[in-house]
């Protein structure tokens, strides 16, 4: 089981839940893309029972991932894109990352699937570097 949490800007509060399948993850990301504030779309946090977490922040076509493993070591995705910064709502706070940290949404979903199964989003298509 994966716990989920994101910020609902309309109610100014956190929304918590659980995921048991990849289909639910897709539906939850669609719901988040329907929410927005002056801070962008809310980030989605996935937390495993071992304490590992994965945060997915997006503006729709690109995402940034922030992963904390069970040893509390933190990493972020690296995609090498160019362009404007990605702005997102991290639990009510304005947050931003450079474009080179972003990856395609399809790659982020694959990383999230791996994280749900094994606790690590790491794979051949996406690089992570320490924070």
pLDDT tens digits, 81-131: 888 999 999 999 999 999 999 999 999 999 999 999 999 998 888 999 999
Residue 130 domain flag: no
Domain assignment of residue 29, yes or no: yes
In the 8-state DSSP scheme, what is residue 85? P
- Domain hosting 73: range is 2-122
Q: Does residue 78 sit within a domain? A: yes
Say if 108 falls within a structural domain: yes
Residue 31 clears pLDDT 90, i.e. is over it: yes
Identify whether 131 is part of a domain. no
Phi-psi region of 76 (alpha: psi -120 to 50; beta: other; left: phi over 0): beta
* pLDDT at residue 125, rounded to an integer: 83
Does residue 38 sit within a domain? yes
Asked whether residue 55 is domain-assigned, the answer is yes
- pLDDT for res 6: 97
On the question of pLDDT at 80 being above 90, the answer is no
Residue 129 lies in a domain: no
Q: How many domains does the chain have?
A: 1
86: tokens are: 């990605």
């Amino acid at each position: 089981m994966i716990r989920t949490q994101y910020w609902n800007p309309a109610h100014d509060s956190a929304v918590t839940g659980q995921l048991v399948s990849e289909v639910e993850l897709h539906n939850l990301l669609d719901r988040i893309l329907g929410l927005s504030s002056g801070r962008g779309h809310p980030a989605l946090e996935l937390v495993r029972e071992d304490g590992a977490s994965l945060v997915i922040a997006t503006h729709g076509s690109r995402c940034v991932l922030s992963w904390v493993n069970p040893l509390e070591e933190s990493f972020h995705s690296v995609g090498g894109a160019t362009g404007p910064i990605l702005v997102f709502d991290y639990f009510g706070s304005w947050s931003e990352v450079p474009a080179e940290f972003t990856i395609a949404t399809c790659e982020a979903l694959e990383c999230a699937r791996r994280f749900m199964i094994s606790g690590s989003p790491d794979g051949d298509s996406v690089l992570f570097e320490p924070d």
